[in-house]
Amino acid sequence: MYSLTVRDHMMIAHSFRGEVFGPAQRLHGATYVVDVTFFRRDLDADNLVVDIGLASQELKDVLAAFNYRNLDDEPDFSGINTSTEMLAAVVADRLADRIAAGGLGPGATGLERLSVTLRESHVAWATYERTL
């Protein structure tokens, strides 16, 4: 199995609801360093998992909908705890939609899985992995 990973980041504000979150119930924020890994069994005709340039651009486009925003004000996340693990899944699903729509080119039909890791600090990160 082959995989290729590209990295970018986003900076957001949000707050959490529930006593388990303690002081994180207050409005605060995070930098998420985002690693997206694309998996496929065989390489394409160019010997690639996916074109790094295209993959990086699609990731940047997906992150633009989060970047420099207060997620508490985004209709998509109204009343939802935007935990690191939940955001990893949203980023993964949005990338999966773009791949299905051809955003990574016709060769990307060979992709089998996708994982998204959001690093919220030097001591904590979360991953969501799904099939394509």
Chain residues binding a copy of itself by CB under 8 A are 1-9, 11-14, 16, 18, 20-24, 26-33, 37, 43, 46-49, 51-53, 56, 67-70, 73, 80-86, 88-89, 120-130
Which residue lies nearer to a copy of itself by CB, 82 or 94?
Answer: 82
> What is the dihedral sign for C-alpha 98, 87, 41, 61?
positive
Q: Can you point out the beta strands (E) in the chain?
A: 2-14, 28-40, 69-70, 111-121, 124-131
Q: Work out how close the CB of 69 gets to a copy of itself at its nearest, in angstroms, rounded to a whole number.
A: 6
Cβ neighbours around 23 below 10 Å, total:
7
**Residues found in the chain:** 132
Cβ neighbours around 117 below 10 Å, total:
21
Which residue lies nearer to a copy of itself by CB, 83 or 96?
Answer: 83
Q: End-to-end CA distance of the chain: give it in Å, rounded.
A: 15
Which residue lies nearer to a copy of itself by CB, 5 or 97?
Answer: 5
Which residue lies nearer to a copy of itself by CB, 80 or 98?
Answer: 80
Cβ neighbours around 53 below 10 Å, total:
9
Q: Work out how close the CB of 112 gets to a copy of itself at its nearest, in angstroms, rounded to a whole number.
A: 13
Q: Work out how close the CB of 44 gets to a copy of itself at its nearest, in angstroms, rounded to a whole number.
A: 9
Q: Work out how close the CB of 22 gets to a copy of itself at its nearest, in angstroms, rounded to a whole number.
A: 7
